[in-house]
Amino acid sequence: MDGWRRRTSVCGWILTTRFDAVRQVSARGVRAGYRWTRIRVSFFGRLVEEQKGYLSFLDAVRDLPSSTGDGRAISFHVWGKGESVDESAYPLVQFHGHVTDAELVNAFASSDVIVMPSRYEPFGYVALEALASGCILIATTGQGMDEFLVPDKNFVARTSDSTSVENELEKVLERPERYFDVVQEGIRTAAEWSWRRSVEAHFRLFTNVLEVARTAAESRNNS
């Protein structure tokens, strides 16, 4: 998923313009009160259990129903590759492997709930992309995402164990409309992480560096 993402390292900024169309589509669904005919629950990322905790996602959805009480179909998806997984052990999960470019944007656009049971994330781009796509995000705390995630304000905080993930998914799938304000706040949060903000952050950084260098040079010349 890294091939198409144009990033900058200062302050972890990411270009979310790519997801503008996704946000518009998702916002229509949000404003309609989550009246989807189906609900897609997704995991995005490398299949590395030690970091991503993907097995917690798989174990959490193993026993969940394939439809809601009001008849909406539920499907579970894994987008990414890595460690070998016995896919036959998870018959309700669709494994899509590695996707890039438009396929990835469409994958986010088609998702309604995104789960990140990560054990370690230096920043957590998937979380920001989930917010930008208007998805309900269920994620762990104590990660790099803490820089922009606020529990129960723009995402749903849970620990990385499968039981915690399963319990929260059951609540979300039962009444997703309860998360209307959380999704809306997530969209607003993602909109703040733009290239414009990135350029401004770089400008401030380099201005400060030059000022420190100038002050040091003047100090040496006056000594």
CA distance 132 to 135: 8
> Full-prediction pTM beyond 0.85?
no
Q: Report the pLDDT value the prediction gives residue 15, as an integer from 0 to 100.
A: 47
Exposed e or buried b per residue across 126-164, where buried means at least 16 C-beta atoms within 10 angstroms of its C-beta? bbbbbbbbbbbbbbbeebbbeebbeeeebbbbbebebeb
Digitized pLDDT (tens) for each residue of the chain, 223 residues in all: 333 233 333 344 444 545 554 544 444 454 444 456 789 999 999 999 999 999 999 999 998 999 988 888 999 999 999 999 999 999 999 999 998 878 888 899 889 999 999 999 988 889 999 998 889 999 999 998 998 999 999 999 998 899 999 999 999 998 888 898 999 999 889 888 776 776 777 788 888 888 888 888 888 888 7
For 70, the token pair is: 């009001």
Q: Report the pLDDT value the prediction gives residue 36, as an integer from 0 to 100.
A: 63
For 183, the token pair is: 């999704």
CA distance 111 to 42: 6
DSSP letters for 52-111:
H-HHHHHHHHTTS-SB-TTS-EEEEEEE--BS---GGG-TTEEEEE---HHHHHHHHHH-
CA distance 108 to 26: 10
Q: Report the pLDDT value the prediction gives residue 222, as an integer from 0 to 100.
A: 81
CATH no. of 10-194:
3.40.50.2000
Cβ contacts of 36 within 8 Å, gap of 6 or more: 29, 72, 112
Q: Report the pLDDT value the prediction gives residue 18, as an integer from 0 to 100.
A: 52
Q: Report the pLDDT value the prediction gives residue 44, as an integer from 0 to 100.
A: 96
Q: Report the pLDDT value the prediction gives residue 19, as an integer from 0 to 100.
A: 56
CA distance 111 to 107: 6
Is the CB of residue 77 less than 8 Å from the CB of residue 57? no
140-172 confidence digits (pLDDT tens): 999 989 989 999 999 999 988 999 999 999 999
CB-neighbour burial class of residue 187 (10 A; exposed 0-12, middle 13-18, buried 19+)? buried
CA distance 148 to 124: 10
Q: Report the pLDDT value the prediction gives residue 126, as an integer from 0 to 100.
A: 93
Q: Report the pLDDT value the prediction gives residue 62, as an integer from 0 to 100.
A: 92
For 152, the token pair is: 């129960």
Distance, C-alpha 37 to centroid of its chain: 23
Q: Report the pLDDT value the prediction gives residue 182, as an integer from 0 to 100.
A: 94
Cβ contacts of 56 within 8 Å, gap of 6 or more: 117, 160, 161, 162, 165
